[in-house]
Amino acid sequence: MAIDVARARAETPGCGKGLHFGAAGASLMPAVVLDAQLDHLRLEAEVGGYKAARLAAEAIEGTYDSLARLLGCGRQEIAVIENATLAWNLALHAVDFAPGDRILTAEAEYASNYISYLRLAEHKGVEVLAVPSTPEGELDVAALESLIDERVKLISVTHVPTNGGLVNPAAEIGRVARAAGVPYLLDACQSVGQLDLDVEAIGCDILTASARKFLRGPRGIGFLYVRDEVLERLDPPFLDLHGARWETAESYSVIPGARRFETWEFNYASVLGMAAAVDYALDWGLPAIEARVCALAETLRGRLAAIPGITVQDIGRRKCAIVSFSAAGHDSSDLEAALDRQGIVVGTSTPYSTRLDAERRGLPTVVRAAVHYYTLESEIEAFAQAVEELVA
Ligand SMILES: Cc1ncc(COP(=O)(O)O)c(C=O)c1O
Of ligand 1's atoms, which has the minimum distance to the CA of residue 161? 1
Helix (H) or strand (E) holding 301: helix 286-305
Please state whether 18 falls in left (phi above 0), alpha (psi between -120 and 50) or beta: left
pLDDT confidence of residue 225: 99
pLDDT at 1 over 90: no
pLDDT in tens, 291-324: 999 999 999 999 999 999 999 999 999 999 999 9
Of ligand 1's atoms, which has the minimum distance to the CA of residue 86? 11
Range 263-269 average pLDDT = 98
| C-alpha span between 82 and 60 (Å, rounded) | 15
Instruction: Tell me if 190 CB under 6 Å of ligand 1.
Output: yes
Q: What are phi and psi of 245, to 5 degrees?
A: -110, 135
- Residues 164, 315: contact at Cβ < 8 Å? yes
| C-alpha span between 155 and 106 (Å, rounded) | 9
- Residues 163, 312: contact at Cβ < 8 Å? no
pLDDT confidence of residue 239: 98
| C-alpha span between 136 and 9 (Å, rounded) | 35
If we measure between CA atoms, which residue out of 207, 132, 144, 150 comes closest to residue 177?
A: 144
Share the mean pLDDT of the chain. 98
Cross-strand partners of 156: 185
If we measure between CA atoms, which residue out of 122, 173, 133 comes closest to residue 152?
A: 173
Percentage of the chain modeled with pLDDT above 90:
99
Atom 15 in ligand 1: residue holding the nearest Cα:
162
- Residues 293, 193: contact at Cβ < 8 Å? no
pLDDT tier at 265 (50, 70, 90 boundaries)? very high
- Residues 19, 344: contact at Cβ < 8 Å? yes
pLDDT at 181 over 90: yes
pLDDT in tens, 137-170: 999 999 999 999 999 999 999 999 999 999 999 9
Residue among 110, 156, 213 whose CB has most ligand 1 atoms within 8 A, to mutate: 110
pLDDT confidence of residue 283: 98
Residue among 112, 206, 221 whose CB has most ligand 1 atoms within 8 A, to mutate: 112
pLDDT tier at 256 (50, 70, 90 boundaries)? very high
Instruction: Tell me if 105 CB under 6 Å of ligand 1.
Output: no
Please provide the DSSP assignment of 198-226 as one string.
Answer: -HHHHT-SEEEEESSSTT---SS-EEEEE
Of ligand 1's atoms, which has the minimum distance to the CA of residue 162? 16
Range 12-24 average pLDDT = 97
pLDDT confidence of residue 270: 98
Helix (H) or strand (E) holding 76: none
pLDDT in tens, 351-375: 999 999 999 999 999 999 999 999 9
pLDDT confidence of residue 125: 98
Atom 7 in ligand 1: residue holding the nearest Cα:
84
Cα angle value 356/369/222 (rounded, 5°) = 75
pLDDT at 9 over 90: yes
CB neighbours (10 Å) of residue 141?
Answer: 17
Rounded distance from Cα 187 to ligand 1 centre (Å): 8
pLDDT tier at 54 (50, 70, 90 boundaries)? very high
- Residues 244, 255: contact at Cβ < 8 Å? yes
pLDDT in tens, 83-105: 999 999 999 999 999 999 999 99
The one-character DSSP state at 306 is T
Instruction: Tell me if 162 CB under 6 Å of ligand 1.
Output: yes
Please provide the DSSP assignment of 363-386 as one string.
Answer: ---EEEEE--TT--HHHHHHHHHH
Range 208-226 average pLDDT = 98
pLDDT at 172 over 90: yes
